[in-house]
Structure 1
Amino acid sequence: MKKQAGFTLIELAIVLVIIGLLLGGVLKGQELINSAKVKNLANDFRTIPVYIYGYQDKFKALPGDDKAAKTHLGDATVKEGNGDGALGGSWFDASADNASEAYQFWRHVRLANLAPGVTDVTNPDWRPTNADGNPIGIMAGTNVAASSAMKDGAGNAIKGSYVICSQGVLGKYVIQLDVTMDDGNSSTGSMLASKTNAPALGLSADTGVIDPAASYIVCYGI
């Protein structure tokens, strides 16, 4: 009778080790991808204040609010602000016909060569986007009552001279973002998150557990 060949325990152990190494590599690779995405999303929030400071240093005015933008930027077609030192309008203003200061902020900083992006408001790529390709914007903070982008779990408006909001951020990134940039709780502090796809003023931050697979709007006060 012919003896049936099979795997030895050593061979099985080697196969299991190889499978374990492969799985470990996949998981580590995914972790690195997630970390890179969070870093890029965090960078979105961190670079916008740099645009403000750079413009103020260069022109002694607030981008979007600059009442002498035509002269400063050398473009007679650019819309100017009223120069009152506040950024009027909401972060999600997106119409090419919208003359709000929060919307024109982007054209001012781009024409000043402080930020990348097209300067033609009729271009389909005009709308600023975050690292995930979803809308991002800035507006005045709680010093202008109507511009409160989001309220925390206690009903208090997010604090900051300016509020930056980023749409379509997955919950798994929201969790890491808040740990990286704030207090680790997305319903308190300077970074708040709301599970919605409808940008609006006066959103309320979610007080429950963040769903890693859900889409959130994240607002950050600076």
Structure 2
Amino acid sequence: MTFLHSAARRRGFTLVEIAIVLVIIGLLLGGVLKGQGLIDSAKVKNIIQQSNSLTAAVNAYQDKFRALPGDDPLATTHVPGATGNGNGDGQISEYYLAPQHLALGGFITGSYNGSTDFMTSAQGGAVYLYNDVVGGRGGNGIRFDNLPDTFAEQIDSKLDDGKPNTGSVRANTAGGAYTSSGAIVPRTAIFF
């Protein structure tokens, strides 16, 4: 009789036990994926906030000094410590000077040397105040480099029309559309 009892105790898992384990694993995976979505959403909100703050900083600089940061021909006078002046043509082609002018003027935080430093986004890519052509539109704006296409699409949808080649938010996407495939968008610009 002892042989029968010990054999009965060594049986495998029942179907119900396996089903319960699979449900628990599914719930855990669902929670992880939902958590990643929340993290991504927070990064997009942070990038939009950064864009809004930079636009406000550029407008405040322009109101105070009657010139664009980076392009300011009197920047070394306006913001002591600036390493260079712009050419005053109304186009921010001096993109390394722009964050330095804003920081030294007290419009943004950070320290920029005016020649190699650049701002970064919540995603970690470079951020420039720049006169550039992105998605078929040219002009001064804020350019975010190397965003996932889902981030670029969310930013475009929240600030504009959700299309990468129309409106004030433009993106250099493959085929002129957002794919939600995880591809990296090399340039996303918010023109002002």
Aligned position for 1:95: none
**Aligned residue type for 2:128:** G
Residue 108 (structure 1) aligned with residue 101 (structure 2): yes
The CA RMSD measured in Å over matched residues stands at 2.7
Structure-to-structure mapping, 1:110-129, within 5 angstroms: 110-121=103-114, 126-129=117-120
Task: Supply the distance in 2 between the matched residues of 1:114 and 1:49 (Cα, whole angstroms).
Answer: 10
Aligned position for 1:162: 140
Using the TM superposition, give the Cα deviation of residue 50 of structure 1 relative to its aligned residue in structure 2, in angstroms: 1.4
Structure 2 gap segments, 5+ residues each: none
Using the TM superposition, give the Cα deviation of residue 83 of structure 1 relative to its aligned residue in structure 2, in angstroms: 4.3
Aligned position for 1:80: 85
Using the TM superposition, give the Cα deviation of residue 25 of structure 1 relative to its aligned residue in structure 2, in angstroms: 0.9
Task: Supply the distance in 2 between the matched residues of 1:209 and 1:78 (Cα, whole angstroms).
Answer: 39
Residue 133 (structure 1) aligned with residue 97 (structure 2): no
Sequence identity percentage: 37
**TM-score, length-normalised on structure 1?**
0.70
Pick from 170, 184, 187 the counterpart of residue 215 of structure 1: 184
Pick from 8, 24, 27 the counterpart of residue 21 of structure 1: 27
Aligned position for 1:92: none
Structure 1 gap segments, 5+ residues each: 90-99, 141-146, 196-204
- Does the residue aligned with 2:109 lie in a helix, a strand or coil? coil
Using the TM superposition, give the Cα deviation of residue 111 of structure 1 relative to its aligned residue in structure 2, in angstroms: 0.6
Using the TM superposition, give the Cα deviation of residue 8 of structure 1 relative to its aligned residue in structure 2, in angstroms: 3.9
Task: Supply the distance in 2 between the matched residues of 1:13 and 1:211 (Cα, whole angstroms).
Answer: 33
Pick from 60, 63, 70 the counterpart of residue 69 of structure 2: 63
The answer to whether the 8 Å contact 1:51/1:114 transfers is: yes
- Does the residue aligned with 1:165 lie in a helix, a strand or coil? strand
Residue 171 (structure 1) aligned with residue 136 (structure 2): no
Using the TM superposition, give the Cα deviation of residue 175 of structure 1 relative to its aligned residue in structure 2, in angstroms: 2.3
- Does the residue aligned with 1:64 lie in a helix, a strand or coil? coil
Task: Supply the distance in 2 between the matched residues of 1:26 and 1:175 (Cα, whole angstroms).
Answer: 23
Task: Supply the distance in 2 between the matched residues of 1:121 and 1:189 (Cα, whole angstroms).
Answer: 31
Distance 1:88 1:220, change over 3 A: closer
Residue 183 (structure 1) aligned with residue 176 (structure 2): no
Aligned position for 2:134: 150
Using the TM superposition, give the Cα deviation of residue 10 of structure 1 relative to its aligned residue in structure 2, in angstroms: 4.2
Task: Supply the distance in 1 between the matched residues of 2:56 and 2:177 (Cα, whole angstroms).
Answer: 33
More helix by share: 2
Distance 1:186 1:110, change over 3 A: same
Using the TM superposition, give the Cα deviation of residue 165 of structure 1 relative to its aligned residue in structure 2, in angstroms: 1.6
Distance 1:35 1:151, change over 3 A: closer
Using the TM superposition, give the Cα deviation of residue 49 of structure 1 relative to its aligned residue in structure 2, in angstroms: 0.6
Distance 1:106 1:194, change over 3 A: same
The alignment of Structure 1 onto Structure 2 pairs a total of residues equal to 185
Q: Which has the larger radius of gyration?
A: 2
Task: Supply the distance in 2 between the matched residues of 1:184 and 1:151 (Cα, whole angstroms).
Answer: 13
